Amino acid sequence: MPELPEVETVRRGLSPTMEGAVIRRLELRRPDLRFPLPRDFAARTAGRRILALSRRAKYLLIDLDDGATVIAHLGMSGSFRIEASGQRDVPGDFHHPRSKDEKHDHVIFHLEGADGGSRVIYNDPRRFGFMDLTMRNELETYPAFRDLGPEPVGNALSADYLATRFVGKQQPLKSALLDQRIIAGLGNIYVCEALWRAHLSPERAAATLVTPTGRPKQQLLALTEAIRAVIADAIAAGGSSLRDHIQTDGSLGYFQHSFNVYDREGAACRTPGCGGAVERITQSGRSSFYCRICQK
């Protein structure tokens, strides 16, 4: 499942083509993805100008000039590609190639922009992604967004805030960090990486990072900084682009080659002087990768 950095990479890749363009036609090649597509989706978007592309957690937001917003989620295998002037440009060497089978091209934005016409194509072999349409001023009450916590970027995420959410919580730290009501958009890969950077075990109770008076301990300060840093590094690297996920220009992100623990079971821990090895355990049905020697 693409995580926040991957979705941010998609947003940045699509923005130059989509922002300011007019949707001449929205072509729907099937009535549903994971869920049914919005009622009158094509008619409601035809002729609308795209004002901006933004992101909330792992969701891509496409703002239209009538106040509506298209919400897109990539699911497990969804991706966008851009075709302009009749050419399909897919540069880069792929570790896991994108689907080129047009039977998986489900939604096509036919656009008219300053540089002429182009098509933005949503391809999704497994159809676990979805698209919806709502008004921009109703996003905060949209079911997928209304209970989301702050993003793991910027000043909204602080150790003081996490202390208020972790106080008295005996839940394992890994599980607490994956709770989207606490932090929006943080997923399994980058939780593993952030915990390694902060030298914290995924199994320790979240409450152990908070003082009896409800203040953040030094470990929670370190964890907050690690979360921000690992997300920033992944965005700068273009997202991890694991398995089915690829960038909009077809190139493969390279942050996956910098993983310190994720998917490195049995490999030597990269903490200087540690001497331990990366282990894999299962927590709530998901793999956690960590070093029990330096992560306490």
Annotated catalytic, 100? no
Instruction: Give the position of tokens 């989706």.
Output: 41
- The DSSP call for residue 226 is H
Question: What is the distance between the alpha carbons of residues 130 and 167, in angstroms, rounded to a whole number?
Answer: 36
Question: What is the distance between the alpha carbons of residues 218 and 229, in angstroms, rounded to a whole number?
Answer: 17
Task: Please give the distance of CA 188 from its chain centroid, rounded to a whole number.
Answer: 11
Please provide the size of the chain in residues.
296
Q: Which two tokens stand for residue 37?
A: 């597509």
**Active site residue: 58, 119, 174, 197, which one?**
58
Question: What is the distance between the alpha carbons of residues 109 and 9, in angstroms, rounded to a whole number?
Answer: 19
- Tell me which residue of 62, 36, 32 sits closest to 48, measured CA to CA: 62
- The DSSP call for residue 39 is T
**Active site residue: 3, 6, 8, 193, which one?**
3
Annotated catalytic, 8? no
**CA angle centred on 158, ends 69 and 193, rounded to 5°:** 85
Contacts with 270 (C-beta within 8 Å, 6 or more apart), sequence order: 260
- Tell me which residue of 296, 149, 286 sits closest to 218, measured CA to CA: 296
Question: What is the distance between the alpha carbons of residues 79 and 60, in angstroms, rounded to a whole number?
Answer: 12
Annotated catalytic, 58? yes
**Active site residue: 217, 228, 270, 286, which one?**
286
Annotated catalytic, 286? yes
Kindly list the catalytic residues.
2-3, 58, 286
